[in-house]
């Protein structure tokens, strides 16, 4: 097919701990996506998951498309969006691994010995020993069979330098971690200023007038990839978290109030970790 396909990797157990998290409950990492933008013969992958097992599954899925992978684009410099790429890059050695020029130096910093040790402590034996680092794109354009995919630096999300990929002919935006789809948002370490900036980034996606938004983290039961719903829900979630934090409630109450508002959202560990970060 020509168009856009999404690979969804489910919630994965990891050795997370947070002050208010009940250690009797298994912590999980958010369900994550990788997106294949397909032309007639070639394809471009956006983001590449985290563990080697995920990378193997992602590769098998890409092979089913029958397309030749020409590039892999990483939306932002977080391990869970590119550490899993080793099997894919080994199978497609001619595919360029790239990111936005502003993100490249930050991505390079994610593969330090210390950072790799930390990720290995979360996912023992499941992480590549030498994750490939994306190179800086010389322009904001990424080509697929002569058509231009636009990479857009929107700014703050759960990391300061976040980009998205706009696919104009599909009215789609592959949003990385700027928009979340029915998963608790990674607001750990956020403050009122970065939360407001994150909402601005969601507005920047809306300004591209997409019909479809593919979120980097998507619940397997999410109903669709509808841009209006996803952008509205993501903005409202940030506003609600901001308001609940502003009440001065302790972390367990922040969690309880957000769960009451968002009972169906996946990965409660993310919320607990975010709440604890607001009450150190």
Q: How far is the CB of 10 from Zn ion (least distance, A)?
A: 14
Classified as helix, coil or strand, 71 is strand
Of 116 and 144, which CB lies nearer to Zn ion in the complex structure? 116
Strands (E), 23-126: 28-29, 32-38, 42-46, 68-74, 96-99
Of 78 and 182, which CB lies nearer to Zn ion in the complex structure? 78
Of 83 and 262, which CB lies nearer to Zn ion in the complex structure? 83
Q: What angle do CA 107, 268, 280 make, to 5 degrees?
A: 70
The token duo for 246 is: 């502003």
Of 78 and 100, which CB lies nearer to Zn ion in the complex structure? 78
38 counts as binding Zn ion under rule CB under 5 A = no
Question: Cα(268)–Cα(278) distance, rounded to whole angstroms?
Answer: 16
Q: Which residue is nearest to Zn ion (CB)?
A: 177
Which residues 185-224 are close enough to bind Zn ion by CB under 5 A? Answer: 216
Which residues 68-87 are close enough to bind Zn ion by CB under 5 A? Answer: 78, 80
Select from 34-42, 144-152, 175-183, 196-204 the region that touches Zn ion (CB under 5 A): 175-183
Cβ proximity of 55 and 85 under 8 Å: yes
Of 118 and 211, which CB lies nearer to Zn ion in the complex structure? 118
Tell me which of 38, 47, 86, 177 binds Zn ion, using CB under 5 A: 177
Task: Give the closest residue to 127 by CA, choosing from 136, 137, 117, 135.
Answer: 117
Q: How far is the CB of 62 from Zn ion (least distance, A)?
A: 20
Question: Cα(3)–Cα(77) distance, rounded to whole angstroms?
Answer: 26
Question: Cα(130)–Cα(118) distance, rounded to whole angstroms?
Answer: 14
Residues in contact with Zn ion by the rule CB under 5 A = 78, 80, 177, 216
């Amino acid at each position: 097919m020509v168009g856009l396909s999404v690979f969804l990797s489910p919630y994965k157990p990891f050795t997370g701990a947070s002050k208010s998290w009940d250690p009797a409950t298994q912590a999980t990492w958010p369900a994550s996506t990788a997106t294949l933008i397909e032309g007639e013969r070639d394809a471009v992958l956006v983001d590449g998951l985290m563990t080697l097992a995920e990378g193997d599954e992602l590769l098998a899925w890409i092979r089913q498309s029958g397309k030749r992978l020409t590039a892999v684009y990483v939306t932002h410099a977080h391990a869970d969006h590119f550490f899993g790429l080793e099997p894919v890059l080994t199978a497609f050695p001619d595919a360029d691994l790239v990111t936005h020029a502003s993100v490249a130096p930050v991505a390079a910093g994610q593969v330090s010995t210390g950072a790799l040790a930390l990720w290995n402590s979360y996912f023992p034996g499941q992480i590549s020993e030498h994750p490939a680092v994306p190179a800086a794109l010389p322009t904001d354009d990424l080509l697929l069979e002569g058509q231009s995919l636009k990479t857009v630096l929107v700014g703050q999300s759960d990391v300061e330098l976040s980009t998205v990929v706009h696919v104009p002919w599909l009215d789609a935006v592959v949003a990385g971690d700027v928009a979340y789809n029915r998963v608790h948002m990674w607001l750990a370490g956020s403050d009122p200023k970065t939360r407001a900036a994150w909402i601005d980034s969601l507005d920047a996606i809306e300004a591209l007038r997409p019909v479809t938004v593919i979120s980097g983290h998507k619940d397997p039961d999410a109903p669709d990839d509808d841009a209006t719903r996803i952008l509205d829900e993501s903005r409202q979630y940030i506003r609600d978290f901001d308001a609940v934090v502003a009440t001065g409630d302790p972390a367990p109450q922040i969690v309880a109030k957000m769960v009451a508002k968002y009972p169906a959202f996946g990965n409660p560990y993310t919320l607990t970790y975010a709440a604890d970060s607001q009450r150190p």
